[in-house]
Amino acid sequence: MEASDHPKAIKSVEVKNPQGLHLRPGEAFARRASEFESTIEVISGERRVDGKSLLDIATLGASQGT
Amino acid sequence: MKFSDFVSSTAIRPNLSAEGKEDVIREMTTALVQAGAIEEGELESTIKAITKREELGSTGIGRGVAVPHTKHPSVDRLVGTVGVSIEGVDFKSLDGEKVHLFFLLISPPDRPGDHLRALENISRQLRDDTFCRFLKQSKTAEDIWQLLEEADNNQFVS
Protein backbone atom coordinates (compact mmCIF):
# COMPACT_ATOMS: atom_id res chain seq x y z
CA MET A 1 0.00 0.00 0.00
CA GLU A 2 1.49 3.34 -0.96
CA ALA A 3 1.58 6.30 1.39
CA SER A 4 -0.81 8.15 -0.89
CA ASP A 5 -3.46 5.49 -0.24
CA HIS A 6 -3.64 6.39 3.43
CA PRO A 7 -6.22 9.09 4.12
CA LYS A 8 -4.67 12.04 5.91
CA ALA A 9 -6.10 15.05 7.68
CA ILE A 10 -3.99 18.06 8.58
CA LYS A 11 -5.09 20.96 10.74
CA SER A 12 -3.08 24.01 11.69
CA VAL A 13 -3.82 25.47 15.08
CA GLU A 14 -2.33 28.15 17.28
CA VAL A 15 -1.67 27.72 20.97
CA LYS A 16 -3.89 30.24 22.75
CA ASN A 17 -3.21 29.27 26.35
CA PRO A 18 -0.87 31.85 27.92
CA GLN A 19 0.90 29.02 29.69
CA GLY A 20 1.51 27.21 26.45
CA LEU A 21 1.01 23.51 25.76
CA HIS A 22 2.10 22.34 29.20
CA LEU A 23 1.42 19.10 31.04
CA ARG A 24 -2.28 19.40 31.72
CA PRO A 25 -3.48 20.30 28.23
CA GLY A 26 -0.79 18.01 26.81
CA GLU A 27 -2.15 15.10 28.82
CA ALA A 28 -5.72 15.85 27.78
CA PHE A 29 -4.63 15.89 24.14
CA ALA A 30 -2.61 12.68 24.40
CA ARG A 31 -5.41 10.90 26.20
CA ARG A 32 -7.97 11.91 23.57
CA ALA A 33 -5.60 11.11 20.71
CA SER A 34 -5.03 7.63 22.14
CA GLU A 35 -8.72 6.86 21.67
CA PHE A 36 -8.26 6.88 17.91
CA GLU A 37 -6.80 4.10 15.80
CA SER A 38 -5.09 6.47 13.40
CA THR A 39 -1.56 7.70 13.76
CA ILE A 40 -1.66 11.20 15.16
CA GLU A 41 1.33 13.50 14.94
CA VAL A 42 1.83 16.97 16.34
CA ILE A 43 4.19 19.23 14.43
CA SER A 44 5.70 22.38 15.89
CA GLY A 45 8.41 24.11 13.95
CA GLU A 46 10.79 21.38 12.88
CA ARG A 47 9.71 18.90 15.52
CA ARG A 48 7.26 16.16 14.70
CA VAL A 49 6.09 13.98 17.58
CA ASP A 50 3.68 11.21 18.48
CA GLY A 51 0.46 12.91 19.56
CA LYS A 52 -0.50 9.96 21.74
CA SER A 53 2.54 10.36 23.97
CA LEU A 54 2.49 13.03 26.68
CA LEU A 55 6.26 12.83 27.01
CA ASP A 56 6.65 13.50 23.28
CA ILE A 57 4.24 16.43 23.36
CA ALA A 58 6.10 17.91 26.33
CA THR A 59 9.28 18.00 24.25
CA LEU A 60 7.72 20.60 21.97
CA GLY A 61 7.70 23.35 24.57
CA ALA A 62 4.93 24.93 22.48
CA SER A 63 4.34 28.35 24.00
CA GLN A 64 1.40 30.70 23.39
CA GLY A 65 1.35 31.85 19.80
CA THR A 66 3.09 28.86 18.27
CA MET B 1 16.70 26.38 29.72
CA LYS B 2 19.54 24.09 30.70
CA PHE B 3 19.48 21.99 33.87
CA SER B 4 22.28 24.10 35.29
CA ASP B 5 20.05 27.16 34.87
CA PHE B 6 17.52 25.99 37.41
CA VAL B 7 18.59 22.89 39.34
CA SER B 8 19.97 23.59 42.81
CA SER B 9 22.91 21.22 42.99
CA THR B 10 22.82 20.99 46.78
CA ALA B 11 19.13 20.08 46.71
CA ILE B 12 19.67 16.93 44.64
CA ARG B 13 18.60 13.75 46.47
CA PRO B 14 20.05 10.53 45.00
CA ASN B 15 18.33 8.27 47.51
CA LEU B 16 14.94 9.51 48.58
CA SER B 17 13.71 7.90 51.78
CA ALA B 18 10.09 8.91 51.21
CA GLU B 19 7.72 6.10 50.40
CA GLY B 20 4.53 7.94 49.55
CA LYS B 21 3.50 10.79 47.30
CA GLU B 22 3.12 13.41 50.06
CA ASP B 23 6.40 12.42 51.65
CA VAL B 24 8.33 12.74 48.41
CA ILE B 25 6.95 16.21 47.83
CA ARG B 26 7.86 17.20 51.37
CA GLU B 27 11.34 15.67 51.19
CA MET B 28 12.23 17.40 47.94
CA THR B 29 10.73 20.77 48.85
CA THR B 30 12.61 20.64 52.15
CA ALA B 31 15.76 19.95 50.14
CA LEU B 32 15.18 23.20 48.23
CA VAL B 33 14.78 25.07 51.51
CA GLN B 34 18.00 23.56 52.83
CA ALA B 35 19.74 24.60 49.63
CA GLY B 36 18.53 28.15 50.14
CA ALA B 37 16.45 28.14 46.97
CA ILE B 38 13.22 28.62 48.89
CA GLU B 39 12.74 30.52 52.15
CA GLU B 40 12.03 28.34 55.16
CA GLY B 41 8.90 30.28 55.97
CA GLU B 42 7.48 29.35 52.57
CA LEU B 43 7.94 25.59 52.97
CA GLU B 44 4.41 24.69 53.96
CA SER B 45 2.65 26.94 51.47
CA THR B 46 4.88 25.62 48.68
CA ILE B 47 4.12 22.01 49.60
CA LYS B 48 0.44 22.87 49.67
CA ALA B 49 0.61 24.41 46.19
CA ILE B 50 2.45 21.41 44.76
CA THR B 51 -0.05 19.02 46.32
CA LYS B 52 -2.94 21.06 44.97
CA ARG B 53 -1.52 20.79 41.48
CA GLU B 54 -1.19 17.01 41.89
CA GLU B 55 -4.86 16.81 42.77
CA LEU B 56 -5.73 18.29 39.38
CA GLY B 57 -3.90 15.45 37.73
CA SER B 58 -0.84 13.37 38.55
CA THR B 59 2.44 14.66 37.21
CA GLY B 60 3.58 11.06 36.99
CA ILE B 61 3.85 11.16 33.23
CA GLY B 62 4.82 7.54 32.83
CA ARG B 63 8.07 5.63 32.30
CA GLY B 64 8.92 5.95 35.98
CA VAL B 65 9.14 9.73 35.90
CA ALA B 66 7.24 12.51 37.67
CA VAL B 67 7.51 16.29 37.40
CA PRO B 68 5.69 17.74 40.41
CA HIS B 69 5.59 21.51 40.11
CA THR B 70 3.87 24.74 41.02
CA LYS B 71 3.99 28.48 40.55
CA HIS B 72 4.78 30.30 43.77
CA PRO B 73 5.17 34.01 44.44
CA SER B 74 8.09 33.50 46.82
CA VAL B 75 10.53 32.70 43.99
CA ASP B 76 11.70 35.25 41.46
CA ARG B 77 13.21 32.69 39.15
CA LEU B 78 12.61 29.04 38.30
CA VAL B 79 14.19 26.70 40.85
CA GLY B 80 14.20 22.95 40.85
CA THR B 81 15.79 19.76 41.96
CA VAL B 82 16.14 16.10 41.10
CA GLY B 83 15.34 13.12 43.32
CA VAL B 84 15.81 9.40 42.76
CA SER B 85 13.84 6.74 44.59
CA ILE B 86 15.45 3.33 44.37
CA GLU B 87 12.37 1.53 45.66
CA GLY B 88 9.94 3.53 43.59
CA VAL B 89 6.92 5.49 44.79
CA ASP B 90 3.27 5.09 43.90
CA PHE B 91 2.50 8.47 42.37
CA LYS B 92 -0.78 7.51 40.70
CA SER B 93 1.02 7.82 37.38
CA LEU B 94 -0.73 7.84 34.06
CA ASP B 95 0.67 4.40 33.21
CA GLY B 96 0.11 2.96 36.69
CA GLU B 97 3.82 2.34 37.25
CA LYS B 98 5.88 3.39 40.25
CA VAL B 99 8.03 6.49 39.90
CA HIS B 100 11.79 6.44 40.38
CA LEU B 101 12.85 9.79 38.91
CA PHE B 102 11.48 13.09 40.22
CA PHE B 103 12.02 16.58 38.85
CA LEU B 104 10.53 19.22 41.15
CA LEU B 105 9.95 22.68 39.64
CA ILE B 106 8.92 25.89 41.40
CA SER B 107 8.42 28.87 39.10
CA PRO B 108 7.47 32.52 39.54
CA PRO B 109 3.79 33.17 38.74
CA ASP B 110 4.37 35.58 35.88
CA ARG B 111 6.81 33.59 33.75
CA PRO B 112 5.07 30.55 32.23
CA GLY B 113 7.68 30.40 29.50
CA ASP B 114 10.45 29.40 31.90
CA HIS B 115 8.41 26.50 33.23
CA LEU B 116 7.53 25.35 29.72
CA ARG B 117 11.15 25.49 28.59
CA ALA B 118 12.32 23.53 31.63
CA LEU B 119 9.66 20.91 30.92
CA GLU B 120 10.76 20.81 27.29
CA ASN B 121 14.35 20.17 28.29
CA ILE B 122 13.51 17.58 30.93
CA SER B 123 11.23 15.61 28.63
CA ARG B 124 13.72 15.65 25.75
CA GLN B 125 16.42 14.17 27.93
CA LEU B 126 14.04 11.63 29.45
CA ARG B 127 13.21 10.24 26.03
CA ASP B 128 16.75 8.93 25.97
CA ASP B 129 16.94 5.54 27.69
CA THR B 130 20.62 5.92 28.47
CA PHE B 131 20.02 9.17 30.31
CA CYS B 132 17.21 7.58 32.36
CA ARG B 133 19.26 4.52 33.14
CA PHE B 134 22.31 6.51 34.27
CA LEU B 135 20.11 8.74 36.39
CA LYS B 136 18.54 5.76 38.17
CA GLN B 137 21.96 4.22 38.74
CA SER B 138 23.47 7.40 40.20
CA LYS B 139 24.79 6.94 43.72
CA THR B 140 25.58 10.50 44.73
CA ALA B 141 24.30 14.02 44.16
CA GLU B 142 27.60 14.71 42.42
CA ASP B 143 26.96 11.83 39.97
CA ILE B 144 23.56 13.28 39.14
CA TRP B 145 24.91 16.81 38.74
CA GLN B 146 27.57 15.57 36.30
CA LEU B 147 24.93 13.69 34.36
CA LEU B 148 22.83 16.84 34.10
CA GLU B 149 25.85 18.76 32.87
CA GLU B 150 26.51 16.11 30.22
CA ALA B 151 22.87 16.35 29.18
CA ASP B 152 23.27 20.14 28.96
CA ASN B 153 26.18 19.53 26.59
CA ASN B 154 23.89 17.41 24.41
CA GLN B 155 25.60 14.14 25.06
CA PHE B 156 22.35 12.18 25.08
CA VAL B 157 19.88 13.85 22.78
CA SER B 158 20.10 12.98 19.10
Q: What is the pLDDT of residues A5-53, one digit of tens each?
A: 678 999 999 999 988 999 999 999 999 999 999 999 999 999 999 999 9
Domain ranges for chain A, please list them. Answer: 16-66
Rounded to an integer, what distance in angstroms lies between the CA atom of residue B105 and that of residue B7?
9
Prediction ipTM score: 0.82
The answer to whether B119 contacts A61, with C-beta atoms less than 8 Å apart, is: yes
For B80, residues 6+ apart whose C-beta sits below 8 A from its C-beta are B6, B7, B8, B32, B103, B104, B105, B106, B118
Among B59, B94, B124, the residue with its CB nearest the CB of A59 is: B124
Q: Is pLDDT at B112 greater than 90 in this prediction?
A: no
Q: Is pLDDT at B88 greater than 80 in this prediction?
A: yes
Q: Provide the pLDDT confidence category of residue B94 given band limits of 50, 70 and 90.
A: confident
Contacts of A24 in chain B (CB under 8 A): 56-57
What is the CATH T-level fold of the domain A16-66, as seen in this structure? Histidine-containing Protein; Chain: A; (3.30.1340)
Query: Taking the domain B3-152, which CATH number applies?
Result: 3.40.930.10
A50 part of contact set with chain B, CB < 8 Å: no
Number of Cβ pairs closer than 8 Å across A and B? 54
Rounded to an integer, what distance in angstroms lies between the CA atom of residue A17 and that of residue A14?
9
The answer to whether A55 contacts B120, with C-beta atoms less than 8 Å apart, is: no
pTM of the entire predicted model = 0.91
Domain ranges for chain B, please list them. Answer: 3-152
